[in-house]
Amino acid sequence: MSKSYDVIINGAGMVGAVTALLLAGQDGQDTEREGFKVAVIEHGEQTTFDPAAERQMRVSAISAHNLDLLRKLGLDRHWNEPRMGFYQHMRVWDNQSTGELEFTGSTQQPLGAMVENNQLIAAAQQLMSAHPNIDVYYQQQIDNIECSERHVRIELTDQQPLQAKLLVGADGARSRIRQSMGIEWSQKPYRQKGLVCYLKLTAAPESTALQAFNPGGPVGLLPMNDGLFSMVWSLPDTEVDRWLQADEQTFINALKIHINRDLGDIQLASARAAFPLYQSQAKTYVKDRVVLVGDAAHTIHPLAGQGVNLGFADAECLATKLKGVRLRDAEALARALKKYQRVRKAEVSKTAATMDALHHLFTHPSPVLKPLRAFGMNRLNQLAPLKHWLLKQAGS
């Protein structure tokens, strides 16, 4: 006999867990509004976070809007703020020209915060475990999916059958749900990798995210507190191994050249790792009673740190479009999902196109573009209303 739910979500990572809390009716005030009955399937164990443990390499920039969202959901009751890097300023410069940009948040609200992924996941999973409308199935995978006009039926690896009126794929760029449903996936590699590590900077400006654009790709320096920064250096595939394997001093010397600002002494504070950069998107986010969110639906270049913020926006939009919808009503559900897809595909496509244009603008070798970049950045830096609009568009 299948256990029944309103919604099944595959994936209990950041986006999957936030989607579950929104759909289940979490309001962050120790009470739950009326919401859907949700099952969450997660192939791993429940995530834990130890503030005394070594820092995780996987970090995310969370926009001001999404920090508010996470607080409303109650995640701030379980996260550790000393391990988060709140930033009030953002400085961007072009090392091929004189172009510079600076953004500053309000005194009441930061532009955003850097946080280790496992800290947010652990906090969200704690909330899910205590939520009366959510059941979490850890160390399970979906082995089989059957869609009908009235429901979706799945079978877990332990052969336990579950059914629901909606299945949400929140299981990352290699989504099993997307693949099982036969949804097409287009992918465009940038022929770059993001080289990541932690650095100690002795003279960096406080509470400031930094980004230097170079011909091979940008260097992002993202504050994690107490002079510690998470670095993402975008490099052509052909150069990555060289800087992964270089001795520490050679690596630091090269990094100083690519930053081209006096930030004091630089110390390597962790191992180095690299991951491929690409842009991808599902042809459709919706098929029958299945919907995709987060990286299962789209990925973009990380140069503006918008990946997980787009995923949280997916979750918010889906919860909004499903509010008041009787999920058993196939026509009403289809209308709601089409509205979700129309809004989110348009927004993601716009953001991806912007990131793509910026990537090519700053990596193209044409000398004609150098003065144009400088003029554009410096002119924008003088226009406060336009800068405010840009921050709002970025979710900050």
Identify the pLDDT of residue 372.
54
Identify the pLDDT of residue 30.
40
Question: Cα separation of 183 and 204, whole Å?
Answer: 46
pLDDT, one tens digit per residue, over 157-199 is 999 999 999 999 999 999 999 999 999 999 988 788 999 999 9
- Tens-digit pLDDT profile for the chain (396 aa)? 789 999 999 999 999 999 999 999 965 444 445 799 999 999 999 999 999 999 999 999 999 999 999 999 999 999 999 999 999 998 988 887 777 788 887 767 888 999 999 999 999 999 999 999 999 999 999 999 999 999 999 999 999 999 999 999 999 999 999 999 999 999 988 788 999 999 999 999 999 999 998 888 889 999 998 899 999 999 999 999 999 999 999 999 999 999 999 999 999 999 999 999 888 999 999 999 999 999 999 998 665 556 799 999 999 999 999 999 999 999 999 999 999 999 999 988 887 766 655 555 555 555 545 555 554 555 545 545 544 545 554 443
Which residues, at least 6 apart from 319, have a Cβ–Cβ distance to it below 8 Å? 19, 22, 23
Identify the pLDDT of residue 351.
77
Identify the pLDDT of residue 300.
81
Helix (H, G, I), strand (E, B) or coil at 45: coil
Tell which phi-psi region holds residue 134, choosing left (phi > 0), alpha (psi between -120 and 50) or beta: beta
Identify the pLDDT of residue 367.
57
Is residue 339 situated within a structural domain?
A: yes
Question: Cα separation of 43 and 351, whole Å?
Answer: 30
> Is the overall model pTM greater than 0.95, yes or no?
no
DSSP, res 295: G
CA 214 vs CA 194, 242, 255, 263, 361: distances in Å: 14, 17, 11, 17, 11
State the residue range of the domain holding 178: 3-79+116-186+279-357
Is residue 32 situated within a structural domain?
A: yes
Burial category of 49 from C-beta neighbours within 10 Å (exposed 0-12, middle 13-18, buried 19 and up): buried
**Residue appearing with tokens 């270049």:** 301
For the chain, what is the domain count? 1
CA 224 vs CA 213, 262, 301: distances in Å: 21, 19, 21
Question: Which among 35, 43, 46, 41 has a CA at the least distance from the CA of 9?
Answer: 41
Identify the pLDDT of residue 134.
98
pLDDT, one tens digit per residue, over 270-323 is 999 999 988 899 999 999 999 999 999 999 866 555 679 999 999 999 999 999
81 is written with which tokens? 């703020």
Is residue 162 situated within a structural domain?
A: yes
The CATH number of the domain holding residue 138 is 3.50.50.60
Identify the pLDDT of residue 31.
40
347 is written with which tokens? 């927004």
Q: Are 202 and 193 in contact (CB under 8 A)?
A: no
Identify the pLDDT of residue 389.
45
Which residues, at least 6 apart from 53, have a Cβ–Cβ distance to it below 8 Å? none
| Helix or strand holding residue 201 (H, E) | strand 185-201
62 is written with which tokens? 């969370």
Helix (H, G, I), strand (E, B) or coil at 86: strand
Identify the pLDDT of residue 102.
82
Question: Cα separation of 237 and 243, whole Å?
Answer: 11
Is residue 383 situated within a structural domain?
A: no
Helices 14-24/307-322 angle, 10° precision:
20
